[in-house]
């Protein structure tokens, strides 16, 4: 396919790379320079999102937040200006489910289909092409784009209509945040009690407490590696979506709120750009103890 890709950060670059490697023709745009590693593979760098949309049949967005999607789609020289009937716009960012429905209506009015397809798996999953992809939108468009999704991820599910993919991603981020908090508390407890947290983590991975977060982020906590795969400031954004949506629905999400406050604490101490496993730093501050010595 002729595929457009807008947003080439730590997630977008490897995702676009997999599509190029699979033989698709890529047209790329980013607010920063398009990575040379992608153009070296034969992809075309475009001057604007509109140029991408004119050149591609499927246009994928992978940008940080709701306002960035709005600007990429409907701002000056945005995707909407380059669309013609029959094209498909796919937003793989993690943004507001409510705003997503509005974006879909505007794109539909131009004669094009819209899929919201946020992902889970972080930079590790993006590089390994093992992302979980949660999709909202029409089934026909989903089936057309599915071969592209299969080059970027493993667990690919059409959840429902537009907005349902983003709702699923918000639910995912609630579970991830609360599990990071649980792993952090457990390893902090073990360390304070005098046990080796690395060996405790290894033992727990063989039991019912095992999880991908214990495996990956537990190791980050022990090895003190908080270089970002997924930044705290982005997880804060996702939990803001969860909490604001819960208020609108009349729901209480008490532990989600607690996890957000822990992220807020780390960010207040200058850690907003750390990996979200760095939430443990807030717990360490509260307990006046670290899981392991900093390198």
Query: Which residues are designated catalytic?
Result: 169
How many C-beta atoms lie closer than 10 Å to residue 165's C-beta?
29
- Secondary structure of 233-269 in the HEC alphabet? HHHHHHHHHHHHHHHHHCCCCHHHHHHHHHHHHHHHC
DSSP assignment letter at 35: P
Interatomic CA distance for residues 114 and 137, integer angstroms: 6
The four Cα atoms 157, 162, 163, 164 give a dihedral, to 10 degrees, of: -30
Yes or no: say if 278 and 271 are a contact pair by the CB < 8 Å rule.
Answer: yes
Interatomic CA distance for residues 117 and 157, integer angstroms: 9
Assign residue 142 a region (left: φ > 0; alpha: ψ between -120 and 50; beta: otherwise). alpha
Q: How far is CA 22 from the centre of its chain?
A: 22
DSSP H helical ranges for the chain = 12-21, 36-39, 49-55, 66-74, 79-82, 97-108, 122-128, 139-152, 164-192, 197-204, 212-223, 232-249, 254-268, 280-287
Yes or no: say if 69 and 93 are a contact pair by the CB < 8 Å rule.
Answer: yes
Residue 28's nearest CA partner among 75, 61, 73 is 61
- The tokens describing 169, both together, are 């991603």
């Amino acid at each position: 396919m002729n595929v457009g890709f807008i947003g080439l950060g730590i997630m977008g670059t490897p995702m676009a790379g997999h599509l190029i490697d699979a033989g698709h023709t890529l047209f790329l745009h980013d607010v920063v320079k398009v990575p040379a590693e992608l153009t070296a593979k034969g992809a075309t760098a475009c001057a604007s999102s509109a140029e991408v949309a004119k050149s591609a049949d499927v246009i994928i967005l992978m940008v940080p937040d709701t306002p960035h999607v709005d600007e990429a789609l409907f701002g000056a020289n945005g995707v909407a200006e380059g669309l013609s009937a029959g094209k498909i716009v796919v937003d793989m960012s993690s943004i507001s489910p409510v705003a997503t429905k509005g974006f879909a209506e505007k794109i539909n009015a131009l004669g094009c289909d819209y899929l919201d397809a946020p992902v889970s798996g972080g930079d590790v999953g993006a590089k390994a092409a093992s992302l979980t992809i949660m999709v909202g939108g029409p089934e026909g468009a989903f089936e057309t784009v599915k071969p592209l999704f299969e080059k970027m991820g493993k667990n690919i599910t059409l959840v429902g209509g537009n907005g349902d993919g983003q709702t699923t991603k918000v639910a995912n981020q609630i579970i991830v945040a609360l599990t990071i908090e649980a792993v952090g508390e457990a390893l902090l407890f073990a360390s304070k009690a005098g046990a080796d947290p690395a060996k405790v983590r290894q033992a727990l991975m063989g039991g019912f407490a095992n999880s991908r977060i214990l495996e990956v982020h537990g190791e980050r906590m022990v090895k003190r590696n908080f270089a970002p795969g997924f930044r705290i400031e982005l997880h804060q954004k996702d939990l803001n979506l969860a909490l604001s949506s819960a208020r609108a629905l009349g729901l209480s999400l008490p532990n989600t709120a607690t996890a957000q406050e822990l992220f807020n604490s780390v960010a207040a101490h200058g850690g907003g750009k750390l990996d979200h496993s760095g939430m443990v730093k807030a717990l360490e501050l509260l307990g006046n103890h670290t899981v392991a010595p900093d390198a």
